[in-house]
Structure 1
Amino acid sequence: MEKIFESSLWSSRFIIILAVVFGLLGAIILFVVASFDVYETAAYVINTYLNHAHPEHFHEKVVGGIIGAVDLYLIGVVMLIFSFGLYELFISDIDAAKDSDGEDNQLLAIHSLDQLKDKISKVIVMVLVVGFFQKVGDTDFATPLDMLYLALSITAVAVGLYFLGKVGKKH
Structure 2
Amino acid sequence: MKNFLEKLLWSSRYMTILAVWSCIVGMALLFTLSAIDMGKLLVEFVDVYVFGHDVPNFHTVVVSHVITAVDDFLLAIVLLIFALGVYELHIDKLDFIRENETAGKLLQIESLDDLKDRLGKVILMILIVSFFKNVLSVKFDDPLNILYMGGGIFLVALASYFGHKGSH
TM-score interval w.r.t. the shorter chain?
A: over 0.9
Q: Is the 8 A contact 2:21 2:83 kept in 1?
A: yes
- Provide the identity percentage: 38
Superposed CA RMSD in Å reads 1.7
| Residue 86 of structure 2 corresponds to residue 86 of structure 1 | yes
Query: 1:10-29 alignment to 2 at 5 Å?
Result: 10-29=10-29
State the shift of 1:52 in Å. Answer: 2.2
CA distance in 2, matches of 1:12, 1:105: 30
1:2 matched to which residue of 2? 2
Query: 1:55-74 alignment to 2 at 5 Å?
Result: 55-74=55-74
Structure 1 length normalisation: TM-score?
0.91
Query: 1:40-59 alignment to 2 at 5 Å?
Result: 40-59=40-59
Poorly superposed stretches of 4+, deviation over 6 Å: none
State the shift of 1:53 in Å. Answer: 4.0
Q: How many residues align?
A: 168
Q: Provide structure 1 residue ranges, at least 5 long, that are not aligned to the other structure.
A: none
Of stretches 38-47 and 48-57 in structure 1, the one that deviates more from structure 2 is 48-57
SS of match in other structure, 1:98: helix
1:160 matched to which residue of 2? 159
1:95 matched to which residue of 2? 95
CA distance in 1, matches of 2:137, 2:33: 22
Structure 2 length normalisation: TM-score?
0.93
